[in-house]
């Protein structure tokens, strides 16, 4: 292994190569490391130095071996995904929006975009590929809210190239494995293909494309496994003819990509094809390779090297890009980097000439990583060149000179650096897209001004993350080339420090004190929660720190102000970095991991596998002592030491399990590091490098580890392991942290942002009964007083409920919630109003009740509160866990004091109740859920004016159905349910104000036949007490379409009244066109083929008929896709057309379980009426799905647009 002298701040090839080589070395990918050194194009002296480092590494796995491991792991992870809500699921925490006010001002950023293409037949349709976050699709030119991930569960999320078939843009190809960065090359598993325009993807053939290799008989390529893609294209004259440029050469396919032949051995970066004779369908292909520019006129079978004037000989380019002018195929360009020299050549009149670039400000810095050229589609004399920045060259035939414009650095605000990809809008040369390390950018005026297209594009590459232990809403993390990011709402993030963000930390004793690092162990501190401009650099001594690109940094996990930073020595501070002590390692080494269980103990892991320890001894730190070494020759990737039991230590290692690196990757010591036990997961769980570990503080045997792909769990201290990655995309997971208060496991990932999963109680059943926010769509409210409505506490935005001003009176104030069903309640979350004005609750009482009478009484009469406490005076969400679960339907949060006693008001921005469905069937004694009441048709004994039977389904217990005078018994209510259900119960709420009309003796009947020929079956009878409390009757389920309540007598002997009535049940098991309950929409995510700016997809679920989704004026087919957020059994749908244009006529409803699957066969089809009232469709047979797509095959009217005012689906949640 290398010594510390090899980890100096300067590395030949720049900071990017330094980071890449350290990652490759840690993972044992020596072949990819060697390729990285060659690709960097450094000097002979520097190459020799780098190769010497590489030679110190043991022979590692090839990129093909590594890719096979990643592929096998991805397939195992995909098989483990389930949409079952009884098991925990990961969810994204963004960033959905990232701003960098100090550098990019108002621009929004995202992660590295490696490829971008625009549909040749639909300019709205854009696809992009990311380094490790997969393919993303937009049907609105990349505008805000239009991006959707399309390959989250594919075989690989590393994208090197994308290509539409120009003749049929429903066919798209994706070359996996990003060639730009050697660390992502091992993720290359071949080619993915989409046949629906990029929405769903499948691996092409059995292995992503089979290869015949006649050029290298000693070591022939059999597949693209372990290769990185740079370019991919489809012949515009022949859809079966494809070409690929990869890290190992040029490949040609003549059967649509299923089989390939390698036609050139040298690394190929760029391809360009032009039709030279439209009638004879002949083409010319240019290729930019490490050994120069090559040309083929026979479809890529044979290649001839192009003689470039003033080109070094032999050719050994760092990068070379080519493009043929679309407007004139006789004109072409080549843009190359050799050493420090930029080379540009132009072909015209069958001759190549050099172009002077001395005035262009172009640079070869990191040319091996960021480089492109593109000719304007309509001007052969205008070119765009990308290196670190974007440049445009314009040639004037009058002056015979080039004029150069620096586009990205001159833009206001500036465009992010490190350019990788470019694409033009079809038919409009003014509009172009550029992908770089900061995401995707679009210009409508040939690069003069730019718009960011990154809103909702969650592709950031997080290296490390940290959190506030007292708030689930505050998080900080370091990202590649996008600095250190901070969020206070887990949606929008802000760059608080620039450069390459590294390890971060939070002082657990005072979370206002936070830390962040950037490359080469540069450390900063904020005493104000990390807000912009609050950071102060911390200077350690000496300044010539020699360590990893991302040096490990830690704060104490429990108490005190101890922090530490590890390089080739250990820097330790007990006062948050004001003063420092340096501790040398017993033998030379470099820190790669660290953990501080408390203020007096520090543990550190080195790149040679060693683990060291120091402790505070009254007034000084002891010398670092070497513990027993779990394994040698491998980097320690993470450490964990139990703060309650310092004898238990965990250590993880980066190297994969391959023959050249035998040994474990997860070790545990129960004696303080004297002895270690290998608790590595078996190969059939994962063979990949392990990056991070987290432990449940309430159960020391519950352990989670993060591998390069996937998260894994052990509940027995590492003896056995299982996949813990349900609905987690197949990206690299670099860091894991556990939020003890919120019971949340969080993952920092590379190119898919931050994710979290609720893990439930310690030792629980794996999340089936895990505490999670309960659905809020059926909530109704009551409050002590209101100046802003209580409904604001569930709207998900910065509006709030506030009580009336009470000064000089003091609280209590209270807010009551009817949850709409009975649940097992385990806690709640409370968010202060965010505008820093009065209303922050200080002391609180929390009540839970299952009695309806409590709904109309002051909570002081509910009995004893189930929880009391004091909120902190902070602006972030606070999570409260009840000491014991409570079963109930009604909750009350009672504020007994507030922080601003002068105003006396109480306010709540957001309220969530945590829990799970009550195993008793939702409070109905084992019955099913309340059925949807919106389609009920009710007939009844004659009613008094204004007291009709519809009052019993208006969710207001203070209104009621009431019979007329002198109506002799029996009275009745006959309810047509609007469909067939399995009816199993009834809930009756009596009149609340007086006892007149309260029912005593009753009978319940269910019609088990059609309404035309009814057959009434008695299912229950009895008598109800004279009370205001809700009464529940349950019985064996009976399938029927009508319920008849026969009222034989009342307590007053004259009238009958019903305040609220619920029928309990489920949809009938046969499907058969029956109706079911309306599915909840609170988890829905909507997207569409396109939309008008004022008619976005989310309007289709806003609950009103005065806003709707609408496509632009264009011919069908248009579509609206709904991710239901959970797997459902769907039996029907409801469609409400808008009041204006866009009524859908013919439709097909596509559906599938997983985002990567094809659409299921036998999709329901039909025709809507041309009316503006809601239509209900019952499907011939039920189906199970999470994703549904309403495809409008035709529309009424002449404008051929499609619109949806409201859409609902009928069924049950699985």
Give the Cα separation of 382 and 375 in Å (integer).
6
Map 97-141 to HEC letters. EEEECCCCEEEECCCCEEEEEECCCCCCCEEEEECCCCEEEECCC
List Cβ<8 Å contacts ≥24 apart for 641-644.
Answer: 641/595, 641/597, 641/601, 641/603, 642/597, 642/695, 642/700, 643/557, 643/558, 643/597, 643/598, 643/697, 644/697, 644/700
pLDDT digits (tens, 9 = 90+) for 968-999: 999 999 998 887 888 888 989 999 888 899 99
- Which pLDDT score is estimated for 710? 95
Instruction: Find the range with the poorest average confidence among 130-144, 323-337, 714-728, 794-808.
Output: 794-808
Please state the separation of Cα 1024 from the chain's center in Å: 51
Residue 643: pLDDT above 70? yes
How crowded is residue 365: how many other Cβ atoms within 10 Å of its Cβ? 15
DSSP state of 398: T
Token pair 């480089």 is found at 371
The answer to whether 510 and 128 are in contact (CB under 8 A) is: no
Domain 1085-1213 in the same topology as domain 108-309+317-452: no
Task: Give the rounded distance of the alpha carbon of 1155 from its chain centre.
Answer: 13
Higher pLDDT, 852 or 450: 450
- Give the range among 228-242, 293-307, 422-436, 826-840 with minimum mean pLDDT: 826-840
What percent of the chain is modeled with pLDDT above 70?
87
pLDDT at 659: 55
Separation between Cα atoms, residue 293 and residue 636, nearest integer Å: 44
Print burial letters for 607-640: b (CB count within 10 Å at least 16), e (below 16).
bbbbbbbbebeeeebeebeebebbbebbbbbbbb
Residue 726 has pLDDT above 80, yes or no: yes
pLDDT of residue 543: 56
pLDDT of residue 226: 87
What residue has token string 């480092």? 53
pLDDT band per the 50, 70, 90 thresholds, residue 15: low
Q: In sequence order, what E strands does 165-303 have?
A: 172-176, 191-194, 202-203, 210-212, 229-234, 242-246, 249-253, 259-264, 268-277, 282-289, 292-296
Q: Is the pLDDT of residue 658 over 70?
A: no
Strands 636-642 and 625-626 turn out to be unpaired
H or E element: which one contains 73? helix 63-80
User: What does the pLDDT read at residue 1101?
Assistant: 86
pLDDT at 798: 66
Q: Which of 663-672, 690-699, 819-828 has the lowest mean pLDDT?
A: 819-828
* Confidence class for position 229, pLDDT limits 50, 70, 90: very high
| Fold adopted by 462-758 | Methylamine Dehydrogenase; Chain H (2.130.10)
Residues whose CB is less than 8 angstroms from the CB of residue 557 and which lie 6 or more positions away in sequence, other chains included: 508, 595, 596, 597, 598, 643
pLDDT range class, residue 79, cuts 50, 70, 90? confident
What kind of fold does domain 937-1067 have according to CATH? Jelly Rolls (2.60.120)
Q: Residue 1136 in 3-state DSSP?
A: strand
Helix (H, G, I), strand (E, B) or coil at 1153: coil
Query: Which residues partner with 406 through β-bridges?
Result: 391
What's residue 19's pLDDT? 58
pLDDT digits over 292-324, tens only? 999 999 999 999 999 999 887 767 899 999 999
pLDDT at 587 > cutoff 70: yes
pLDDT (average), residues 77-91: 75
CATH code that applies to domain 108-309+317-452:
2.130.10.10
Highest-confidence range of 410-414, 735-739, 1066-1070, 1210-1214, by mean pLDDT?
A: 735-739
Domain ranges of the chain: 12-61, 108-309+317-452, 462-758, 772-917, 937-1067, 1085-1213
Q: Residue 786: pLDDT band by 50, 70, 90 thresholds? A: confident
Closest CA to 156 of 751, 755, 753, 686: 751
Q: Quick one: pLDDT band at residue 1071, thresholds 50, 70, 90?
A: very low
Comparing 85-99, 226-240, 802-816, the range with the smallest average pLDDT is 802-816
Give pTM, 2 decimals: 0.68
Q: What's residue 634's pLDDT?
A: 87
What would the pLDDT profile of 837-873 be if each residue is shown by its tens digit? 678 888 899 999 877 666 667 776 778 888 888 887 7
Residue 1190 has pLDDT above 90, yes or no: yes
Structure token digits, residue 567 = 């390089």
Q: Are 132 and 180 in contact (CB under 8 A)?
A: no
Judge whether 614 and 583 are in contact, CB under 8 Å.
yes
Rg (CA), the chain: 33
- Topology of domain 772-917, CATH: Jelly Rolls (2.60.120)
Choose between 391 and 1084: higher pLDDT: 391
Sign, Cα dihedral of 11, 14, 20, 24:
negative
Assess whether pLDDT exceeds 60 at residue 3. Answer: no
Cα 1162 to Cα 1148: distance, rounded to the nearest angstrom:
10
Condensed to tens digits (0 to 9), the pLDDT of residues 1143-1153 reads 999 999 999 88
The whole-number pLDDT of residue 770 equals: 46
CATH topology of domain 1085-1213: Jelly Rolls (2.60.120)
């Amino acid at each position: 292994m290398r010594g510390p002298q090899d980890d100096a701040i300067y590395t030949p090839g720049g900071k990017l190569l330094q980071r890449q080589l350290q990652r490759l070395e840690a993972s044992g990918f020596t072949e990819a490391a060697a390729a990285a050194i060659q690709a960097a194009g450094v000097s002979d002296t520097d190459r020799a130095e780098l190769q010497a480092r590489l030679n110190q590494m043991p022979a590692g796995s090839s990129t093909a071996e590594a890719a096979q491991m990643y592929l096998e792991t991805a397939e195992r992870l995909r098989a483990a995904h389930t949409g079952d809500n009884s098991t925990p699921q990961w969810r994204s925490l963004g960033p959905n929006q990232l701003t960098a006010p100090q550098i990019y001002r108002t621009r929004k950023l995202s992660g590295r975009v490696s490829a971008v293409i625009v549909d040749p037949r639909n300019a709205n349709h854009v696809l992009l590929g990311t380094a490790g976050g997969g393919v993303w699709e937009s049907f609105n030119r990349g505008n805000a809210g239009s991006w959707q991930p399309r390959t989250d569960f594919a075989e690989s999320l590393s994208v090197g190239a994308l290509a539409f078939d120009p003749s049929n843009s429903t066919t798209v190809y994706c070359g996996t494995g990003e060639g730009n960065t050697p660390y992502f090359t091992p993720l290359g598993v071949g080619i993915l293909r989409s046949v629906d325009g990029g929405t769903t993807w499948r691996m092409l053939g059995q292995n992503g494309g089979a290869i015949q290799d006649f050029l290298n008989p000693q070591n022939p390529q059999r597949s693209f496994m372990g290769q990185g893609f740079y370019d991919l294209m489809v012949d515009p004259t022949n859809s079966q003819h494809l070409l690929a440029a990869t890290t190992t050469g040029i490949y040609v396919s003549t059967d649509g990509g299923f089989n390939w032949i390698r036609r050139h051995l040298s690394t190929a970066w760029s391809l360009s094809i032009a039709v030279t004779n439209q009638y004879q369908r002949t083409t010319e292909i240019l290729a930019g390779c490490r050994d120069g520019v090559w040309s083929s006129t026979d479809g890529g079978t044979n290649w001839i090297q192009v003689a470039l004037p003033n080109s070094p000989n032999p050719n050994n380019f760092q990068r070379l890009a080519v493009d043929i002018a679309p407007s004139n195929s006789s004109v072409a360009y080549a843009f190359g980097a050799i050493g420090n020299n930029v080379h540009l050549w132009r072909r015209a009149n069958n001759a190549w000439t050099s172009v002077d670039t001395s005035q262009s400000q172009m640079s070869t810095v990191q040319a091996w990583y960021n480089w492109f050229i593109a000719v304007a589609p309509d001007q052969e004399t205008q070119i765009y060149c990308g290196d670190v920045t974007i440049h445009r060259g314009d040639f004037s035939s009058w002056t015979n000179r080039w004029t150069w414009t620096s586009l990205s650095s001159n833009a206001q605000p500036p465009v992010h650096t490190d350019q990788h990809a470019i694409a033009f809008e079809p038919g409009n040369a003014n509009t172009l897209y550029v992908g770089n390390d900061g995401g995707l950018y679009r210009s409508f005026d040939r690069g003069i001004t730019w718009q960011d297209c990154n809103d909702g594009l969650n592709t950031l590459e997080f290296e490390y993350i940290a959190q506030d232990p007292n708030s689930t809403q505050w998080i900080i993390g370091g990202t590649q080339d996008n600095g250190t990011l901070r969020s206070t709402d887990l949606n929008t993030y802000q760059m608080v420090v620039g450069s390459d963000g590294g390890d971060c930390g939070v002082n657990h004793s005072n979370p206002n004190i936070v830390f962040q690092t950037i490359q080469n162990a540069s450390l900063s501190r904020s005493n104000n929660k990390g807000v912009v401009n609050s950071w102060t650099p911390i200077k350690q001594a000496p300044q010539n720190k020699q360590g990893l690109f991302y040096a490990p940094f830690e704060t104490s996990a429990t108490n005190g102000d101890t922090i530490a930073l590890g390089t080739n020595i250990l820097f330790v501070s007990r006062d948050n970095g004001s003063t420092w002590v340096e501790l040398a390692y017993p033998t030379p080494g470099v820190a790669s991991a660290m953990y501080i269980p408390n203020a007096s103990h520090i543990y550190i892991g080195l790149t040679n596998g060693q683990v060291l320890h120091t402790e505070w001894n009254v007034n000084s730190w002891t010398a670092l002592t070497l513990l027993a070494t779990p394994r040698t020759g491998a980097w320690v990737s993470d450490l964990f030491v139990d703060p309650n039991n310092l004898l238990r230590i965990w250590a993880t290692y980066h190297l994969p399990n391959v023959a050249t690196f035998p040994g474990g990757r997860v070790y545990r010591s129960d004696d303080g590091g004297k002895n270690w036990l290998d608790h590595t997961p078996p190969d059939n769980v994962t063979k990949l490098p392990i990056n991070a570990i987290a432990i449940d503080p309430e159960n020391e045997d519950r352990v989670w580890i993060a591998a390069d792909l996937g998260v894994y769990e052990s509940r027995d201290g590492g003896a056995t392991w299982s996949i813990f990655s349900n609905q987690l995309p197949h990206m690299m997971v670099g860091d894991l942290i556990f939020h003890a208060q919120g019971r949340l496991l969080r993952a920092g990932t590379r190119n898919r942002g931050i994710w979290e999963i609720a893990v439930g109680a310690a030792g629980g059943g794996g999340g089936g009964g895990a505490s999670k926010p309960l659905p809020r769509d059926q909530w109704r409210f009551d409050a002590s007083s209101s100046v802003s409505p209580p409904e604001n506490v569930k709207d998900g935005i910065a509006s709030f409920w506030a009580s009336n001003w009470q000064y000089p009176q003091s609280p209590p104030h209270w807010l009551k919630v009817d949850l709409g069903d009975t649940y097992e309640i385990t806690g709640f979350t409370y968010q202060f109003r965010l505008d820093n004005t009065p209303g922050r609750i200080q002391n609180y009482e929390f009540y839970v009740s299952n009695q309806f009478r409590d709904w109309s009484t002051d909570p002081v009469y509910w009995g004893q509160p189930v929880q009391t406490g004091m909120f902190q005076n902070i602006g972030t969400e606070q999570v409260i866990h009840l000491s014991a679960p409570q079963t109930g339907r009604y909750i009350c949060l009672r504020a007994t004091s507030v922080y601003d006693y002068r105003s006396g008001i109480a306010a709540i921005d957001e309220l969530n109740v945590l829990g799970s469905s009550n195993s008793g069937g939702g409070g109905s004694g084992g019955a099913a859920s309340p059925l949807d009441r919106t389609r009920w048709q009710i007939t009844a004994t004659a009613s008094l004016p204004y007291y009709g039977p519809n009052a019993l389904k208006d969710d207001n217990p203070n209104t009621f159905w009431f019979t007329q005078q002198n109506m002799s018994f029996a009275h009745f209510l006959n309810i047509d349910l609007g469909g067939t259900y399995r009816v199993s119960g009834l809930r009756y709420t009596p009149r609340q104000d007086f006892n007149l009309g309260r029912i005593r003796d009753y009978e319940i009947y269910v019609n088990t036949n059609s309404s035309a020929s009814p057959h009434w079956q008695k299912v229950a009878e009895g008598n109800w007490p004279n009370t205001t409390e809700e009464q529940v009757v349950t019985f064996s389920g009976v399938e029927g379409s009508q319920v008849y309540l026969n009222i034989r007598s009342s307590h007053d002997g004259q009238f009958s009244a019903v305040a609220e009535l619920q029928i309990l049940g489920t949809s009938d098991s046969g499907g058969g066109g029956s109706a079911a309950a309306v599915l909840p929409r609170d988890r829905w995510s909507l997207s569409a083929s396109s939309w008008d700016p004022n008619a976005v997809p989310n309007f289709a679920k806003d609950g009103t008929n005065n806003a709707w989704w609408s496509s632009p004026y264009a011919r069908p087919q248009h579509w609206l896709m709904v991710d239901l957020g959970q797997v459902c059994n769907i039996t029907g749908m409801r469609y409400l057309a808008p009041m204006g244009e866009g009524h859908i006529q013919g439709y097909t409803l596509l559906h599938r379980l997983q985002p990567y699957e094809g659409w299921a066969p036998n999709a329901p089809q039909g025709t809507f009426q041309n009316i503006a009232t809601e239509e209900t469709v019952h499907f011939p047979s039920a189906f199970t799905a999470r994703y549904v797509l309403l495809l409008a095959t035709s529309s009424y009217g002449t404008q051929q647009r499609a619109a949806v005012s409201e859409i609902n689906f009928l069924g049950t949640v699985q």
